[in-house]
Structure 1
Amino acid sequence: MSEQTPPPWQWDEPTWRGHVDRVRAGRSLSPSTWPGGARVAVALSFDSDHETIPLRDAETLPGKLAQGEYGARVGVPRILRLLQRHQAPASFFVPAVSALLHEGEAASYVEHGHEVALHGWIHERNTQIPAEAERELTLRAADTLERLTGTRPVGIRTPSWDFSPHTLAITRELGLVYDSSLMADDEPYELLAGGEPTGVVEIPVEWIRDDAPYFMMERFGSLRPYTPPRGVLSIWKDEFDQAYAEGGLFQLTMHPHIIGHRSRMAVLSELLEHISARSDVWYATHAQIAEYVLDQAAGTAPQEKTP
């Protein structure tokens, strides 16, 4: 019988430091200016989970699956039309099973000028599966998305932002440019592994800038949407306005089966109208953000004056 792990209050310093230092925020990659003299960068993202969340949990009855199907059937077309109206490229993080279930959807993102990035195989929980399973599923997902879109993914968002002790090593093995699952800053930064720079860019997320906490509903549980859509609009406008004032990054995470409903699309539409009213906004994919900040940090991107 193995010795029981001591409780945290009994850990020695190397133990608690080891946990903290496994994956850590390194140097800031916040640039001094954005392309074209833009005051703010706007990185819109959509996690096209569709049916994979109930499938992951072995919930195979039609009700839950239909909720996910709404995202592909209704939400995605609405989102693509809105993005086209604003000429705003976005990043779509797509579980491979979602891409396989909805033929042509992932390829259509690329055709519309958007990015397709990794989001697991079946929206698995990385911290609840063995390291080798996480690695195999991630590699298989990357191969699948490349086959379906003709483009190899350069970024990853772990399903449910569930970043395991092994995720960073797998990310580096795949040669990915960026991750978008962690929350140590408002601005892009470099990830450290055991205190050592990795070259991997973090495009940080936050529950504040995610539609799911505000709008999710569980019929037989206590989960209910308590914030009206217009209340979420107010929060997101404030987030954008402050990013604009600071000359930083405004990153937003949404889901077609959540944001794609009529009253919520009205909110997203008004938010993009608010953003687009500014002439000095750079809409960019997460990949474009990561590549730009790396170039800036290396001194290979042209320097531009901040307006």
Structure 2
Amino acid sequence: MTEQQPWQWDEPTWRGHVERVRAGRSLRPSSWPGGARVAVALSFDSDHETLPLRDGETRPGRLSQGEYGSRAAAPRILRLLEQHRIPASFFVPAVSALLHPGEVRDYAAAGHEVALHGWIHERNLLLDPATERELAFRAADTLERLSGTRPVGLRTPSWDFSDHTLAITRELGLRYDSSLMADDEPYELLADGEPTGVVEIPVEWIRDDAPYLRMDPQTGSRPYTPPRQVAGIWRDEFDAALAEGGLFQLTMHPHVIGHRSRMIALSGLVEHIGAHDGVWYATHAEVAAYVWEHA
């Protein structure tokens, strides 16, 4: 039988696809801790060498680009966070953690969150359910052993959220996900119309460094936005979140944002945020816990 094209689907079919994973009730609180006017959740996806390894690329060139993320960029990022006393969330593929266990321990020792980001930055959309589940559980066990704390949150690699990811997230007992884009503010995930108790801390490509700054000669991806202009976009995002009393969430990658000129731009953004009163800096786990209790 020939597979139907989307324009041939009946309403239960297309509606079923849409409703499989959906945004439920808003979890935006009426106020943030201590009367803060805005919540700021900075995050870093410590992909490092897993991007080329995932694609079967084992030659030194791209691997060295990933190694830079751990060797040079991560310490630079940790110094900036320490200087401004900012807690952050680090989403770490398990293979990255195994390659750089000291880095993971440094994150935890500094009070930052270590959260799930796949096993080897695999593409969930290409995996069968059993494989996706096995890799997720194996990654959680690995991060717990290396960081000393069981992860409570997930960011799927490349934000690839499969038809099975939510069920695996719930089976793992995770408090939140940070891979979807249905709102600016946190919300509860629905599974086929039913509340799940899983908090979504939404992401967006606008608030991600890779689209602006990532260099990949194999795909033709080239940086096209100067770092300070990127920081200007993020500054506008923060200013709007402050005006609305909402959440400013940012996704970065050490091997992308961690270069000198880009860190200067990020430092300027942090100084702009710090010039305002009423800012609550929090990890994604802290945001998820707070909004669940106070929404």
Secondary structure of 2:42's aligned partner: strand
Question: 1:32 maps to what in 2?
Answer: 30
| Worse overlay, 138-147 or 104-113 | 104-113
Work out the CA distance in 2 between the residues paired with 1:175 and 1:22. Answer: 19
Stretches of 4+ moved more than 2 A in 1? none
The aligned residue for residue 136 of structure 1 is: 134
* The one of 30, 46, 58 aligned to 1:48: 46
| CA displacement at 1:4 relative to structure 2 | 2.5
Matched residue of 2:101: which SS?
A: coil
Amino acid across the alignment from 2:143: L
Question: Aligned letter for 1:133?
Answer: T
Give 1:230-245 correspondences, 5 Å limit. Answer: 230-245=228-243
Tell me the alpha carbon deviations over residues 135-191 of structure 1, each in whole angstroms, 9 at most, x when there is no partner: 000000000000111100000000000000000000000000000000000000000
Give the structure 2 partner of residue 184 of structure 1.
Answer: 182
CA drift of 1:221 comes to 3.3
Alignment partner, residue 289 of structure 2:
291
Q: Write the distance in 2 (CA, Å) between the matches of 1:15 and 1:203.
A: 28
1:288 positional shift: 0.1
Partners of 2:24 and 2:3 in 1: how far apart? 29
Q: AA paired with 1:166?
A: H
CA distance in 1, matches of 2:55, 2:170: 28
Report the alpha carbon displacement of residue 223 of structure 1 after superposing the two structures with TM: 1.1
| Matched residue, 1:303 | none
Q: What residue in structure 1 maps to residue 157 of structure 2?
A: 159
Q: How far apart, CA to CA, are the structure 2 residues paired with 1:76 and 1:188?
A: 27
- CA–CA separation in structure 1 for the residues paired with 2:154 and 2:228: 30
- Alignment match of 1:279 (pick from 277, 280, 283): 277
Q: Is 1:212 matched up with 2:210? A: yes
**Gaps spanning 5+ residues in structure 2: where?**
none
Aligned to 2:167: 169
Q: How far is the alpha carbon of 1:28 from its aligned partner?
A: 0.1
1:71 aligns with 69
What RMSD in Å do the two structures reach over aligned CA positions?
0.6
Task: Point out where structure 1 has 5 or more consecutive residues left out of the alignment.
Answer: 298-307
Q: CA deviation at 1:109?
A: 0.6
Superposition TM-score, scaled by structure 2 size: 0.99
Once the two structures are superposed, residues 200-238 of structure 1 have per-residue CA deviations (whole angstroms, 9 ceiling, x without a partner) of 000000000000000111224321111111110110000
